[in-house]
Structures are given as C-alpha cells and as structure tokens.
Amino acid sequence: MKNISPRTIIILLVLFGSLLYVLPSFHIDVWPHKKINLGLDLQGGMHLVLEVEAEKAVESTIERMSNELRRELKTNHIKFLDLKRKGFQISLKVLEDKGIEKFDKLLDDEFPEFRIVTKSQKDNKLSIVLDLPDSDVSEIKLKAAEQALETIRNRIDEFGVSEPDIRRQGERRILIQLPGVKDPRRAKELIGKTALLEFKLVDDKNSVEDATKGKVPSGMEILYQVVENRQTHRLSKTPFLVEKRTTLTGEYLTDARVNIDSQYNEPYVSIKFNKKGARLFERITETNVQRRLAIVLDQKIHSAPVIQERISGGEARITGSFTHEEAHDLAIVLRAGALPAPVHILEERTVGPSLGKDSIRMGLLSMLIGAILVIVFMIIYYKTAGVIADVALGLNIILIGAGLAGFQATLTLPGIAGIILTIGMAVDANVLIFERIREELRVGKSPLAAIDAGYSKATLTILDANVTTLIAAIVLFQFGTGPVKGFAVTLSLGVLASLFTALIVSRQIFDSILVNRQVRSLSI
C-alpha cells in the first residue's frame, strides 16, 4: 500500500463513520447509540390531529366576566335588567340615573378591559352592549391552544407512552404521535376529555319531573347521572335539577388519587383542594348541610351525595361505579387539569403493531429482491465495472441508513419505497459514466484517458439531474406530512449518497485498479 491518496482516506472514514451509525439499528451496540427511528406505520401507534375549539374558551371567559359583573352590580346596589351573554357579547340595561352614574364608574374602575359596542340612553334607562377587544380575544384563543397543549402533554406523560411527540400545528391544531401505544381507544379518551370538574348544588325546592317536562326554573338546569349496569351493559339515566351557578371547580385541586373503598371494594378518586379551594369547600358545606352537592364532570353528574356536616381540610372523594382503569384515568386528567376549551379529533391514523411488522418484512423483502436483480444485471451488462457500481450501491444503502440514524430522521413505509427507488436511480449515475467511458473507448482512447474523459463529461450531467430530483424532494419535505416526509428524507439522502458514491467512490476504485496494474483493456 504505497500510495494511499487523501481521497481513499476520506472514503474509508465515511465508510467507517456510517457503519458506526448503522450498526446500533441492528442491535449491535456501538458508540453513537442512535437507532433508526421507525415511523408509526412501521412500529404501530397512533397519530392524532386535534383542533382546540378556542371560541369556547373565549365564551367561557366572557361568561365568567358577566358573572363577575352581575355580582359587582348587586353589591353596589345598581338596578339592572336583562344581563345576558350572547356569543362574545354581554348586553344589559341599567335603570335610574343614579344607577347609571354608578355603573359608568364601576365600568371604568373594575372592568377597564371591556369594549363598549353600543350604548343608548332613553329616559333613565341605559342599554349597553359590551365585548372584549379583538386583541384580547385572539390572546385568549392563543392561550387556550397553548394551555391545551401543555395539559395534554401532562396527561400523556402520566399515562406513560415512550417517546410521544406532541406539538402545535398551525394556530390551534395539536399534533400527537404516540408510537407503540397499546390501547388507542383509552389513550384517545384520556387526551380528548375536557375534564371540567364542577360542584353544583342540587335544587331541592322544585321537582325534577316538572323540569324535565320543560318548566326549568330560572338559574337552574337539568344534568344527568348515567349509570351502567355491568351485567347487561344497559345504561340508566337519572335527571337532576341543579343550580347553574358553579360553587367550586377543579382549578383549586392539588391532587387526585385512586383509592379502593374497603366496604364495597370499588375504586374511587380522592381529591385534595388547595388552601383557597378548601376554604370555599368548607363554606359551601357549612351553609348547605342536608342539601345534595352534585359532582359534575363535563356536564355529567358522577354522584350527588348529601352534605352531612361541614367538611374542613379540603378533601373529597368522587365515587361512581368506576372500573379501576377509569378511576386511574380520571385521576390523571384531574391532576393534569381541565382543558381550557374542548378539543375534537380532525385526523386519526392508528396502525396495529402486527401490520407494522408485516410492512417492514415486505418492504425489506422487495428491497432485497430489487437490489439483487439490479446487482446481477449490472454485473452481466458491465462486467468488472458492474461490480464497481455494485460496491458503490452497497455503500449507498449504508450511507442512507447512517443518514437516517445520524439525523434521527424517521423511516416510514414510503421511506423504504424511497430507498428502493434510490437503488434503481443510484445506478443511473454509474450507467451515465460507464456509457460515456464506452463512447470514449470507441473513439480509441486508452483506458485511463477514457475514464478521465468519461467522468469529467458525465459529472455535470449527473449534478444537473440529481439537483432537480433534490428540488422535488425538498419541496415534498416542506409540504408533506408524516409518511410523505419520510419518503422525502430517504429520497434526498439517496440522491446525496449516490452523488458521493458515483462521483467519488467508484472513481477511486477505478483509479486504484488502473494505477497499480498497467491495464491494457477495460472490462466494461
């Protein structure tokens, strides 16, 4: 080995480096420890795109502010009529000159964020419509999406999925990828549940029967308790007449745990309030002894126990015929907090693990068959030169694998298709060169001169041809989602790898053959 050129060293370094990156994927643990990430379509898992109904967050904010306004009006003894929220607006009528005066002051002092939409005064009656400025509305929406993302991330972390990918997509969409999730339905329920926990007092003065017939007293609403019979899977729905006003919500929770009731051997969720929540809870239980307090989760009553005595210490339990799994998941969502707004699923793709394995097996099989056919063909058609092209092809595949592992890109089924396609196209560069060399040989050039001319003439062509493919691949990557992106990645890696192998590696092999032995004729 007298003359090892710098090019040979570079090639060997690249080969060594890419082997280091490829090997961990075949369970041979060497230094970089980076395995090729398999996409959801290959390893099984769930891909979800959720949309946050951010309008609902705005509505509930405005609802809360209108409740505050009502309270302030009452404590300031301002007479008013028809205070109600419609969409994003609050409308009301204020009576008496003195009241209007006090109202204007109240609005300036306590509610500076409100924007006055319309205002008209007739005699001593002021009609006014209020809303929030657009910048506030869009900020609430933005916050809702951010908070939803954070909440969902916490829930999934507690649920225990390895390497979940959760991110914002656009303004109000959330992309969730859960590789290898075992029970997709349960995961979906856990993610999608709003988990708004509310405590509402049950109305004991009016009858539920009248209310279900349509005579709902003002300030009240009907909510249902749904109980399932374990044996028959039938559901029974019991209506309750409860106060619309929420006495306490889940935002004051500090903890939620699953416990087992020793008497009935049924799981329940015990919750713990923070200081403020505990104080509120104590006051509610104190002033409403012997009334029923409904525990409402997402507009469904879980239980409505009778308050026996004042409860201090800020602990309560949610019962309801839970399975252990349900209780566990409920505790998770209560701990992680409620979503600021409901979400709905826009897109779902779930692949079972067995299908993923099949896809890998079939993908590899067709890759192997395709590669063998191409390799054999190249040897038959180009003889020794064909072998050189095949060596370059092998290196090409290793380079793609190393690129995937090194950049931590994701290999998907279309990605495997991309590799297979690259096998077909990678030999193209070598074919171009070899055809050129043959042309030059035909003109009567010596092997060395023919190779030189062949490479130099083909290089520009190969560059042009590959750059355009690369352009298509990059555009694919920019616009694509999931599987298509995976395809774009392997295609781009394949193009770059084939440029390297065809222009540098196969050239080097030719050179070393020709320099070391004085070859008269070229086997091409």
What is the residue type of 209? E
Shorter beta-carbon distance to other proteins: residue 152 or 413: 413
Of 78 and 423, nearer to other proteins (C-beta) is 423
Rounded to 5°, angle at Cα 436 from 435 and 441: 95
Q: Minimal distance in Å, beta carbon 410 to other proteins?
A: 15
Number of Cβ within a 10 Å radius of residue 80: 19
Query: Which residue reads 């988990």 in tokens?
Result: 195
Residues whose CB falls within 8 Å of the CB of residue 366, separated by 6 or more in sequence, listed in order? 420
Identity of the residue, 306 or 471, whose beta carbon is nearer to other proteins in the bound complex: 471
SS3 117: strand
- In degrees rounded to 5, what are phi and psi of residue 352? -70, 150
Nearer to other proteins by Cβ, of 337 and 386: the residue is 386
Indicate the SS3 state at residue 516: helix
Q: How far is the CB of 209 from other proteins (least distance, A)?
A: 21
Cα(203)–Cα(70) distance, integer angstroms: 21
Tokens of 422: 């690259």
Residue 15 or 387 with smaller CB distance to other proteins: 387
Q: Which long-range contacts (CB under 8 A, 24 or more apart) does 11-15 make?
A: 11/504, 11/505, 11/508, 14/399, 14/500, 15/395, 15/398
Which residues, at least 6 apart from 215, have a Cβ–Cβ distance to it below 8 Å? none
Q: Please tell me the distance from the alpha carbon of residue 159 to that of residue 342, in angstroms, as a whole number.
A: 20
Name the residue nearer to other proteins (CB basis): 1 or 380. Answer: 380
In single-letter form, the type of residue at position 265 comes to N
CB of 220 to other proteins, least distance (A): 22
CB of 177 to other proteins, least distance (A): 14
**Shortest Å, Cβ 437 to other proteins:** 12
Nearer to other proteins, 223 or 248 (CB): 223
9 or 443: CB nearest other proteins: 443
Beta carbon of residue 113, minimum distance to other proteins (angstroms, whole number) = 31
- DSSP bridge partners of 253: 273
- Asked if 197 and 273 touch (Cβ cutoff 8 Å), the reply is no
Query: Cα 325–195–267 angle (5° rounding)?
Result: 30
* Residue (of 489, 411, 400, 493) closest to 43 by Cα position: 411
**To the nearest whole angstrom, how small is the minimum distance from the Cβ of residue 348 to other proteins?**
4
Residue 177: name the closest of 160, 185, 192, 165 by CA. 165
Nearer to other proteins, 76 or 238 (CB): 238
Instruction: Report, in Å, the least distance between residue 270 CB and other proteins.
Output: 22
Rounded to a whole number of angstroms, the minimum distance from the CB of residue 382 to other proteins is 8
Report the distance separating Cα 87 and Cα 84, nearest Å. 10
